[in-house]
Amino acid sequence: MTGYGLASASFTGVKYTVEIKSLNSKFLELSLKIPKTFSSKEFALRNECTKRIERGKISISIQAEYAEGATRAAIINQELLNSYYLQLKQISDNLGDRGTNLLGLAVGFPEVMQHEKGEASEDEWRGVYQVFEEALNNFENFRIDEGEVLKKDMIIRINHILSGIKSIEVQEPSRIEVVRDRLNHYLEQSIGKEHIDHNRLEQELIFYIDKLDITEEKIRLRSHCDYFLQALDDQDASGKKLGFISQEIGREINTLGSKANDALIQRLVVGMKEELEKIKEQLLNVL
């Protein structure tokens, strides 16, 4: 959900620059900083953002840089300028700084330079709105490009999980033999080899191995991974939907680890968990 868009244009002696920034957020949080001459148009800007930006912490700034002639026509808010200057001078004296451009700094602060026009004309608003739409388009394109990068990364990580399933299947047959040898050794040490009822042992072994069987977990895990990849290609794919699928993937991976009873398989499971955690981190950036 991070994004950035910038656009600017000059007309009627003023250069307007629109900058849009976005950070992750579960909801749509809009923060607008616009010139007073366009304050009556704030609702229109918010309405367009609500339509086109689903969620995120959005910061929108519209700045106006006036040409030299327009600047001379500006009115200086002397009371505000004086307040800014005295505060800067006090801070400068406290820090022992010998700054000589305090007045220049104070003039650049918000609302010090005020223009006589109380409200912009419709022509000016149409021009500014076009710049705003251009910045918004650039912002959306930035998000799309970032989404493609995230998509490629998540595909790689899902494929790593699928490769982990194949590695588990290679190791799985030897796991059964290890369980069989372990039980035989335990019984020989406990009651002696000559007292072992091999028919009963086979029955118990089948029951025990059935509890350790991970076939269903592997099938479900593959299915969830395939569904995740399919959802990534869907036009209506959303971060919430992908998040729910990743939760199901996590459940199957955890079950594999708990039923594995094998050190190598558990290492493979840890690697799969690491890949899944990275996917979940990436999903925070998906709408």
Domain boundaries of the chain, sorted by first residue: 75-114
What would the mean pLDDT of 143-162 be, rounded to a whole number?
A: 91
**CA dist 106 → 10, 15, 35, 89, 102 (Å):** 26, 22, 18, 10, 6
What would the mean pLDDT of 156-163 be, rounded to a whole number?
A: 94
CA pair distance 46, 129, nearest whole angstrom: 12
Q: Determine the pLDDT at residue 224.
A: 94
Lowest-pLDDT range of 55-69, 81-95, 183-197 = 183-197
CA pair distance 223, 221, nearest whole angstrom: 5
What is the pLDDT confidence band of residue 241, given thresholds at 50, 70 and 90? confident
CA pair distance 20, 139, nearest whole angstrom: 7
Over residues 27-50, the pLDDT tens digits come to 888 889 988 888 888 899 999 988
Query: What is the average pLDDT score of the chain?
Result: 82
Which percentage of the chain shows pLDDT scores above 70? 81
pLDDT surpasses 90 at 98:
no
Q: Determine the pLDDT at residue 118.
A: 58
Q: Determine the pLDDT at residue 286.
A: 76
The gap from C-alpha 182 to its chain's centroid, in whole angstroms, comes to 48
Q: Of 248 and 94, which is predicted with more confidence? A: 248
Residue 40: CB atoms within 10 Å? 12
